[in-house]
Amino acid sequence: MISQSSIDQVFETARVEEVIGDFVQLNKAGSNFKGLSPFSDERTPSFMVSPVKQIWKDFSTGKGGNVVTFLMEHEHFTYPEAIKYLAKKYNIDIEETKQTNEQKQAANERESLYLVSEFANTYFQNILHKTDQGKSIGLSYFKERGFTEETIKKFNLGYALDEWQAFTDEALKKGYQLDYLEKTGLTIVKQEKRFDRFKGRVMFPIKSMSGRVLGFGGRILINDKKAAKYLNSPESEIYYKSKVLYGIYNAKQSIAKADNCYLVEGYTDVIQFHQTGIKNVVSSSGTALTSEQIRLINRLTNNITVLFDGDAAGMRASIRGIDLILEQGMNVKVCTFPEGEDPDSFAKQNTFEELTLYLEENAKDFIQFKASILKEASVNDPIKKAETIRDIVNSISKIPDTIKKEVYIQECARIMDISEEVLFTTLAQINKKEQAEDHNKQQKTQKSFEVIKNEKPVKKVDVQYTLERKIIEILLLYGNKKEDFEDLVLKETEEGELILEPVIQQAKVFEKIYLDLQDDEMEFSNPQFKNIYYTIVDRLNQNTEFELKSFINSVDLETANEITHILMEDERYSLSDWERKNIFPKGKTNSIAQLVSETILSLRCFLIEQKVLEFQKKTIEHKSEVNKSVLEEVKDYSSLKMLLSRKLNRVL
């Protein structure tokens, strides 16, 4: 268990915008930050972070909370894991009691796989640096590649002994279960035999964006035609190749800062670039680029520069990946290296300044690159040239943005020496064909299960729910503030008329709300709001130094999520950047006292209206039994409603 003082220190130190900024590219939006949702596939920002309130809200999925809940949602951390992650990020020493055997057994399978992977990562590093075989074979190989000691340690590079079960024996000796060693792929089990998967290989740990070890890549150092040069961990509960990018943990901040990501093919390409000084670089680890990997980059930047070596065949094969990037609405540039060079070797031979200059001068827009590659294959061949043009237009059709499409069509016409009209016609044909295919798919789905279309009734606004929600918001934001309130005292004139007479009284916001609700015997109809209301009032009553951040951190996850939703709802409009469209939403100009009074008055009006409707219903149902006193009550409630409505400047 982590001590409460350590947890408090973590919450006091951690900044939600800094932590989330490691995973999501955030842009300023007034006093808040906005970005693309890390929980859904979207192109329009619906994710909001409030530095003032120290909370976040994802309007696309409804998720929200504080800095810890973000890590729990995004990285699937347990609560203690999230606290430890933040403690490490902010260099906080945490006090922790030892886990019992029962607690260890209670850890879920996913966490066990992480623990085994972390152990393996430490083990392989120790073998590399502290054993004769590791130093003479593994360390020598990395040094020959030009990696410094600092780089080797930064990327946690290691070595697996060239022995059949050295790692497995050590892991079992330390108490790790064979079942988890097998599930991570570190150990291969065949009947009674078990042996190390990465025997005799240099090791590259593959990490998540938060730095957790998911799997490994291992390179063999001897010439063995039967063995694969590179071997990756098999997929497991924590490692999905299609959703992981090598180097993303070391590169995430640099990618967001530079607003560009360099995409290479291999582990050593990433490491060599990083060592040279260009740190915004990741690798697809030798696998074909996937849409999940692209979306991972898209959380940090909208710009990708794909780096290829001089192998023309390899470049043609990789063009398919560019189309995938375009489909995600991202900007793509491509840079190739001289014949016989790859990103690793070229970075090794050049300084940071030389490499930066080369990338700036040689990075081409995707259409220029694709045209130059395909053009070479269609020289003096009209049929191949036509195929090349259609191929380029097909790539342009993947782009979601209409303006970008038109610009690229114009560029293609210039490069390939063909009229824009023909290209636009071809683009229309491709789009029409895709639409027809989509339509056919939809028709097949509809025929599978015919559904009778019903007109959906218009959803009525739940007035009481809205007003109760507003009361919670007011308490959270202004509960401890002192204000001058204009109270309305109901009096009867000599003529027998009801009037509301104003009286000024000073009180704290939460006291005013509590007393008004008590006086009118008004109860919250929503159980969750009722629970939040009494929790806030109780906390405000006990603590004069009520702090919103601390309060959110102290409640359960469900309550924290609801509070976040309430507090961030008013920020939704800023996601749309309406000011740029000459739409200016009205700001909150009411005073706090006025806001409180109007909200309570509105609730009173609503409840009185419900009471009047209730009496009217009784009158209709039991007409013969209705006495004069009931009619008098209806009249009094109606008069009171009229008075309150006038106070609110509403027409009935």
> Model confidence over 12-42: pLDDT tens digits?
899 999 999 989 989 988 889 999 998 887 7
Between 572 and 294, the higher pLDDT residue: 294
What pLDDT does residue 618 have? 64
pLDDT of residue 315 exceeding 70, the answer is no
On whether both 391 and 259 belong to a single domain, the answer is yes
Q: How many domains does the chain have?
A: 4
On whether both 44 and 186 belong to a single domain, the answer is no
What pLDDT does residue 195 have? 94
How many Cβ atoms from other residues are within 10 Å of residue 337's Cβ? 20
Residue 584: inside a domain, yes or no? no
Residue 440: inside a domain, yes or no? no
Mean pLDDT to the nearest integer, 374-403: 82
Coil, helix or strand at residue 49: strand
Query: If pLDDT is split at 50, 70 and 90, which confidence band does 76 have?
Result: confident
Q: Supply the CATH number for residue 349's domain.
A: 3.40.1360.10
Between 317 and 449, the higher pLDDT residue: 317
> What phi and psi, each to the nearest 5 degrees, are found at residue 418?
-145, 155
Domain containing residue 509: 463-571+590-647
Between 438 and 135, the higher pLDDT residue: 135
On whether both 409 and 358 belong to a single domain, the answer is yes
Residue 10 contacts residue 83 (beta carbons within 8 Å): yes
What pLDDT does residue 247 have? 96
Question: What's the Cα-to-Cα distance from 600 to each of 229, 249, 605, rounded to whole Å?
Answer: 72, 50, 9
- Amino acid in position 359: L
On whether both 392 and 252 belong to a single domain, the answer is yes
User: Rounded to the nearest 5 degrees, what angle is found at the Cα of 25, between the Cα atoms of 30 and 547?
Assistant: 55
Residue 441: inside a domain, yes or no? no
Mean pLDDT to the nearest integer, 280-290: 86
Residue 142 contacts residue 152 (beta carbons within 8 Å): yes
Mean pLDDT to the nearest integer, 480-507: 74
**Sign for the pseudo-dihedral over CA of 637, 639, 645, 651:** positive
Q: Supply the CATH number for residue 509's domain.
A: 1.10.860
On whether both 525 and 619 belong to a single domain, the answer is yes
Between 513 and 277, the higher pLDDT residue: 277
The alpha-carbon radius of gyration of the chain (Å, integer) is: 33
> What phi and psi, each to the nearest 5 degrees, are found at residue 499?
-130, 155
Residue 221: inside a domain, yes or no? yes
Residue 580: inside a domain, yes or no? no
Query: If pLDDT is split at 50, 70 and 90, which confidence band does 647 have?
Result: low
- Amino acid in position 644: L
Mean pLDDT to the nearest integer, 157-186: 96
Return the minimum-mean-pLDDT range out of 91-100, 180-189, 643-652: 643-652
On whether both 522 and 427 belong to a single domain, the answer is no
What pLDDT does residue 333 have? 93
On whether both 83 and 227 belong to a single domain, the answer is no
On whether both 515 and 401 belong to a single domain, the answer is no
On whether both 266 and 212 belong to a single domain, the answer is no
Nearest C-alpha neighbor of 216 from the set 119, 110, 340: 119
What pLDDT does residue 562 have? 84
How many CA atoms, within 13 angstroms, populate the side-chain half-sphere of residue 496?
Answer: 1
On whether both 294 and 334 belong to a single domain, the answer is yes
On whether both 411 and 525 belong to a single domain, the answer is no
pLDDT of residue 106 exceeding 50, the answer is no
Mean pLDDT to the nearest integer, 545-564: 82
Residue 602: inside a domain, yes or no? yes
Between 442 and 241, the higher pLDDT residue: 241
**Sign for the pseudo-dihedral over CA of 101, 104, 108, 114:** negative
Residues in the chain: 652
